[in-house]
Amino acid sequence: MKHGKGLFLWLFVGLWTCKNVHVQGFLQGQGRVEADRPNVLFLVVDDLAPVISSYGGKAITPNIDQLASQSIRFTNTYAQQPLCAPSRVSFLTSRRPDTTKTYFNKASYWRTHVGNFTTLPQYFKEAGYFAASFGKVFHNGHVCGTDNDSPFSWSVPPYHAPTKHFGYEKVCPGPDGKLHFNLFCPVNVSSQPMGTLPDIQTTDHILEIFHNLSRVRDAGLSGKATMPHLPFFLAMGFHKPHISFRYPEEFLDLYPLESVDIAPNAFFSSTQPPVAWNPFMDIRRREDMTALHLPFPYGPVPEKYHFLIRQAYYASTTYMDYELGRVLAGLETAGFANNTVISFVSDHGWQLGEHQEWSKYSNYATSTQVPFMLHVPGITDKGKGNVRKPKFPLRDPLQERSLRSRIKGQGKTANFNEGLSSDALVELIDLFPTLARLANLPVPPLCPVNSSLVDTCVEGVNLTPLIRATLSNSTGSSHSRTWKKAAFTQFPRPSDTPRPDSDQPTLANITIMGYSMITADGYHYTEWVGFDNITCTMNWNDVHARELYVLQSDPLEDNNVADVSSNGKLVKRLSNELHEGWRYALPKLPYDLPLK
């Protein structure tokens, strides 16, 4: 409860009556903020693959769909490393893992050991915004300082749900009447510690913040305020669908097991090099899965559990969607929806049985590809119905018959074709410069090759030209190949063959790095090369394995053709491009222009 009541009181007392000296000092220290700068609501989801309805997936997500219909969806977006801390540090600093030297969840704090890199929320805070964090935004632990990069990134201490730590304790009811640390954990919420769950608590808290910020705004409009009303940058991180699958049990009813689909390629790919395999140890360590005695390292998970895991993942996702719907409805109730840019993104994907794999920890697109959408008021929602109607009314999937019957009846994928979309290659490091431009802030310069001494720069690009191109396209879709030539991801390994720490090797144990590139002309190419964990440098001459997937003929990445002799010239070309790196792949168009 340390930060729970604290942040609420700071906002209620400090922002409303200005008696709190910390907030008062923060407010008085800010320069004037231009009136046309919008608020920003930064939403990040943990382990969400593009299985949601608006991306053609099976998960019921009516509130995300509603947001998507008033946003631009980027359908070809990739995380820079599919692991929580490396990905979040990367997109929150707009620097790649080889720059932050963050390769695992318990890595060293980048400010102490690499460079004093400015973060996305810090950039807004220093521009006069009120910046606050709720839930999982940065990854918890020393990798981000003593508390989620506070005080650098935030105006007040981050909020963490008091029930968060119970997710790592025995709170899952079992058939034996005892509590367990299980993978599968549908619960009666009232029976849980404190009678609630982390995402519910975090949502409740941010709704209070919306309410109190609206009171400050209204006092300013009435001339009763004694302080300026600042625009806000509020970041909220949802914990679900990250395992364990602990969610309100009623959401399980939406997904009868007989309606759950099987992964389209639920088999081991014999062409995959052993170094590319992740043994999904986090799944194996849960009590209910440990009891199965899965063969190491390849499994497989028994067919029954293949469906059970997918069912639980979908139910957890729909639960998260409901809480997100509450957040969006609260934003509107507080009167901020028409002046708030909303960014919705996942930190990385999650394998749901594809290639016989589970979890993340690989360079497959199922691990690295993420849903990403941007709502820009008055831009991405033009012509969307009667302006008098609410933008974001809460949609409850448990109450809407059409949603329930879709699953219980034929189980068909939602036919979602509303809103704007772009299939240009996008990377999560593009978030920082894009949100800066959308808020009418200067876009930080592109980082030099050695940026350890440069506090504020980016390795991503501003995406507003893609939004502009999509708006000008009568079909509402952008198929631009004039954008990035490639998107880049990577993942470390301790050895050529799988071992228990292959999913999350510590820096001292990393000896191989898999550098991966998805190209605009339809290839996914990877080189697993020797890696020096002292200097954090790769050796391109020490190639342990290669992967090449031709996406036009093999979109599911089942057949590695890197060693096919007829592909020799292609492999050499792609290898040269991979070695040139992300700078060679930057778009030719001017990508620092404002959106008009």
Q: Which residues are catalytic?
A: 84, 139
With a CB cutoff of 8 Å and minimum separation 6, the contacts of 499 are: 279, 297
- What is the token pair recorded at 517? 């590139």
* Complete DSSP assignment for 183-232: SEEEE-GGGSGGGS-HHHHHHHHHHHHHHHHHHHHHHHHTT--SSPPPPE
Instruction: HSE, CB side, 13 Å, CA atoms: give it for residue 399.
Output: 4
For tokens 């390629």, the residue is 265
**For the stretch 560-581, what's the b/e string if a residue is b when 16 or more beta carbons lie within 10 angstroms of its beta carbon?**
bbbeeeeeeebbeebbebbeee
CB 491 within 8 A of CB 476: no
The SS3 call for residue 368 is helix
**For the stretch 180-215, what's the b/e string if a residue is b when 16 or more beta carbons lie within 10 angstroms of its beta carbon?**
bbbbbbbeeeeebeeeebbbbbbbbbbbebbebbbe
Residue 103 and residue 537: Cα distance in Å, rounded? Answer: 12
110-115 long-range contacts, Cβ below 8 Å, gap at least 24?
Answer: 111/145, 111/149, 111/152, 114/452, 115/451, 115/452, 115/453, 115/454, 115/455
What's the Cα-to-Cα distance from 115 to each of 108, 151, 360, 510, 583, rounded to whole Å?
A: 11, 16, 28, 21, 21
The number of residues making up the chain comes to: 596
Nearest residue to 516 via CA among 485, 547, 560, 562? 547
Strand ranges for 308-466 from DSSP E: 340-346, 351-352, 358-359, 369-375, 420-422, 426-427
